Structure 1
């Protein structure tokens, strides 16, 4: 039989886990990591015993005392790979939301270096998209049957297709990554539809946070290929957006600007009324 203290510790440990991880699914779909729950249990029991044995608290007060002080982070150590992944989500504006700075210093770092990183990343992706798009258009112009892919609606549909196919590739890659990291052979444990959803919210930088890369399981070696794959997806998205904007602009007459004409007429009407 289990003691009341053990039952209380389990209940409060799970509660603490839910408070920290509710609504968040890492690739292995756990609501809390084993490390966090274990550390929380250990801290809670220590504070619980301190409350009863040293401070002379009643059982209920000792439970509350332990709950207020246990954090589950006493055994935490700096995780370089996790920090790199967090900064990558800041720089790319993905921001899954599973981690966030809570101290003034941490938020100041995001306000300053984070903003600079976002600007630098935007310029980098824009330039990379321009280079790849220029090379691709030049290659299309080399052959008569591919020239149509360099402009207009065919170009928009081509880059949209490339983006969708790349999302499907990234989705499957995340399933394989998850299986290798957690040591299982059945990819169905991570449904393909969920992987596609994760790929979409990542490539579009929506980053809802319902699915995200798990920081505690991220390794230094992962930084040498996962971010590069994501960045290439951003390039496909940028190329599609650029071709779409050019196509939409071509639909309007070059010598007409409806918005500018409207503003000119409004200014003329206001000048006439003032006179």
Structure 2
């Protein structure tokens, strides 16, 4: 039985690490392409985003909205990229240790892997216990978009990104239309072009199922019936972020269970000779040998 467990633990460590290695490489390549090769994102915007928003948004506007979203989540993408690099190194270390039957390398691998696992556990506990700590930063990003908003037809990336969110999620501002009272650039634009009426962006107008704009919605005649002025984007974005966040968190939790089994299998490989010899001192004296 001991021999079978030893063989199983070794191959399980190799195969499990190999699967994680493929995942980290694929994830790292994706993050790298998104960060340093914007053509990929532009193609995505053209094929997927614009195909759903073509009735109210040009292809160029869709591209700018996606690129602005990339800039907003740039730190997260960069952090994910380097996490994938570290994960690739760690998995490679585990594969080498199990393949070469090196007890010293396996010790180093288990120490690093345990530290990573503890960090993952703390992060997930914070996510489930205090999601407001994560939501706070996302809310700040949305508030900044509203504060720096210029106009409905402005070509700046911030305005295009917010216009895209408001039309796509049928919402207005961060909390409601009153948020635009703090948008100084929006005020200056209206004054410069002598546009009368309240600070109500026309992208807050409601859309029919065919994505056409409600005919009764104008800057001065927005109501709950023909617009989204009382429906903030934060509620919608939080709903979407929570759905995807929970999906990632539960998937991550499942991966952590597999990681624990990898550590157990690796620990079995390290301590295997103690069971064989029955003498801990003798096992330690020969610990430089392969397992």
TM-score between the two structures when normalised by the length of structure 1: 0.25
| TM-score of the aligned structures, taking structure 2 as reference length | 0.24
